[in-house]
Chain A
Amino acid sequence: MNRSIGVTLNALGLYGIALVLVAAFAGQIVLGELPCPLCLLQRVLFAILAIGPILNIRFGPNPGHYALSLLAAMVGATVSARQILLHIMPRDPGYGSALLGYHYYTWAFIAFAAAIVLIAIVLLFDDRLPDNKVARPIGLFASGAVWLVIALTAINAASTLLECGFRACPDNPTFYELLKRTP
């Protein structure tokens, strides 16, 4: 696998992470369901998951960068598994609305697990991982993916500040603390 294919795969990964963040944000805006602390932590970990691909795009695919993503995905899967277990009992309605039969935290667990498997597959087939750590010119497709994820992370930071204000986020938020109104 050459550098070009590796960068393209990492850009696709970033677009996938962006899709997850957009879906979460759409649920928040359209359905008016504010994210709970564990939900916010899962979003944070999706953003952290994006750092490995950003480094891969800028400096070239590298096993160390994939390892960063694996660590983030492991922590993310742990957090989402905990939230699944909180709502494991029969007749528990879960937190928030379900999308295609699963709640956001279940989809998050699937996404983190899929990330672990996909990264392992990429490492399996990447027999020529350059270790040069030298920045090279980057195409529009890849740089667009990086900018999209950075923008979504910034939007999430602003939204979380609006939701929680300058105090600890409530377990079951129903209004934006800084706006003092329901969504």
Chain B
Amino acid sequence: MEFAVLFLCVLVVMAVSWWGSHRLALALFSIVLVASVATYLHHATDTLNLSFKGNLSF
């Protein structure tokens, strides 16, 4: 669901960039970019189901 919300937020930023004020577009862009980085960091802390897990030999 978080990705659908992100897409909708980007859609709003695009709409403001195209029809709205310049300053508001920049502010919303910053918020969406930070939200994207936060989403990435959230997933980066997930346990990874790597395909080679358990197959490593040292």
Give A contacts to B, CB under 8 Å.
37-38, 40-41, 43-45, 47-48, 50-51, 54-55, 58-59, 64, 68, 71-72, 75, 78-79, 82, 86-87, 89, 92-93, 133, 146, 149-150, 153-154, 156-157, 160-161, 164-169, 171
Contact = CB atoms under 8 A, between A and B. Distances in A.
A41 B1 contact: no
Given A157-B7, A169-B3, A45 B14 contact: no
A51 B3 contact: no
Interface residues of B, number: 32
Contact of A92 (B6, B32, B39, B51): B51
A71 B29 CA distance: 11
Interface of B: 1-4, 6-8, 10-11, 13-15, 17-18, 22, 25-26, 29, 32-33, 36-37, 39-40, 43-44, 46, 48-52
Contact of B1 (A87, A133, A149, A169): A169
A50 B22 CA distance: 15
B40 A51 contact: no
A48 B51 contact: no
A67 B52 CA distance: 39
Contacts of A48: 10, 13, 29, 32-33, 36
Contacts of A44: 3, 6-7, 10, 36
A166 B4 CA distance: 9
Contacts of A45: 36
A166 B5 CA distance: 10
